[in-house]
Amino acid sequence: MSLRISLSLAALAALSACAEPAPETAPFAPLYEGVETRLLDGDLVNFFVAMRGARGSEDVENYADCAAAQYALIRGYGFARHLRTNVSEEGGLWRGDAVYTISAALPRGLKTIDAEVVASACAENGIPMV
Report domain extents, the chain. 31-124
CA dihedral 47, 48, 52, 55 (to 10 degrees): 50
Instruction: Looking at the structure, give the CATH architecture of the domain made up of residues 31-124.
Output: 2-Layer Sandwich (3.30)
Q: What is the pTM of this model?
A: 0.79
What are the two backbone dihedrals, phi and then psi, of residue 118, each rounded to the nearest 5 degrees?
-65, -45
Q: Tens digit of pLDDT for each residue in 34-60?
A: 999 999 998 999 999 999 999 999 999
Helix, strand or coil, per DSSP, at residue 22: coil
| pLDDT single digits (tens) 70-102 | 999 999 999 999 999 999 999 999 999 999 999
